Amino acid sequence: MFHTSPNLTGISHGFFTRQGGVSGGIYASLNCGWGSNDNQAHIRENRERVARALGTDGARLLSLYQIHGDRVITVTAPWTPEDKPHADAMVTRTPGIALGVLAADCVPVLFADKDNGVVGAAHSGWKGAIAGVLERTLGAMRALGAKRIAAAIGPCIAQPSYEVGAEFRDTFLARDAGNARYFIPAAASAHFLFDIRGFVRDTLAKAGADDINTLENDTYIEEDAFFSFRRTTHRHEPDYGRQISAIMLTR
């Protein structure tokens, strides 16, 4: 039902797969995305299952209206699904609140400073990554007193599955010519394969994350385990589910 990261041992967390829920059809089965067209009662039950696995309840499993930007929220109390903030990352030092980010190819990153009692979660698509959401998440954690921060990079689309056009690559090269190392030629002319996981990992390292671990799953290829926006798009399906990655302080 979920993967954990060895550098977050002792912190309640999980990179949840699509398995273990009640949704059916294209949403089967642990779809946790309120923004999908899935049965809302099924989503609620799926999120309750995730919350129980973490040691809390569904009302305290929070997620955001994700906007592919760099906004980070400091959380002190739960909100309702209808009132979720527009942002892509959260940090807290409040026990019992699970910070959840949704993804279906984008990169989920969970953060923790166990000694100082601060955790964070970020949704990092390419737009958020290049905008600075990871750096801002680390900064928000430090503002709460974090010192040594571990970061775990969860399942996402892998380079062999992430084909992009030349204009996409040019966006990254305009920021830094060194970003060329994250692209290799694809079979199609003027197309490239992008290593978003490597870009995220190196961004975290440059921003001062102290301990970085990476899960190597490919959400596009591993259909039984993960939802994938790109796979859904290629198949012309009407919608897609979202898996959740979440972290929580227990004391």
Q: Tell me how far apart the alpha carbons of residues 233 and 237 are, in angstroms, rounded to a whole number.
A: 6
- Contact between 248 and 55 under an 8 Å Cβ cutoff? The reply is yes
Q: Measuring CA to CA, how many Å separate 128 from each of 59, 133, 145, 166?
A: 27, 5, 24, 19
For helices 133-143 and 196-206, angle between their N-to-C axes, nearest 10 degrees: 40
Determine, yes or no, domain membership for 230.
yes
Q: Is residue 48 part of a domain?
A: yes
What is the tally of structural domains in the chain?
1
- Whether residue 85 lies inside any domain: the answer is yes
Tell me the pLDDT tens digit for each residue of 124-138: 999 999 999 999 999
Q: What is the pLDDT of residue 251?
A: 80
Q: Is residue 30 part of a domain?
A: yes
Residue at 99 is within a domain: yes
Rg, C-alpha atoms of the chain: 17
Whether residue 11 lies inside any domain: the answer is yes
Each residue's pLDDT tens digit, 76-122: 999 999 999 999 999 999 999 999 999 999 999 999 999 999 999 99
Asked whether the predicted pLDDT for residue 174 surpasses 90, the reply is: yes
pLDDT band of 220, cuts 50, 70, 90: very high
pTM (predicted TM-score): 0.98
CA 156 vs CA 83, 151, 225: distances in Å: 27, 15, 11
Quote the Cα angle for 122-178-129, to 5°: 15
Domain annotation covers residue 109: yes
Residue 68 confidence (pLDDT) above 90: yes
How many CA atoms are closer than 13 Å to the CA of 231, on its beta-carbon side?
Answer: 22
Q: Supply the CATH number for residue 110's domain.
A: 3.60.140.10
**Torsion over CA of 118, 207, 242 and 49, rounded to 10 degrees?**
-20
- Which whole number is the average pLDDT over 45-70? 98
Tell me whether residue 197 is in a domain: no
Residue span of the structural domain in which 116 resides: 2-156+216-248
Question: Does the pLDDT value for residue 1 go beyond 90?
Answer: no
- Alpha-carbon distance values, 177 to 119, 130, 181, 183, 206 (Å): 33, 14, 9, 11, 16
pLDDT band at 168 (very low <50, low <70, confident <90, very high): very high
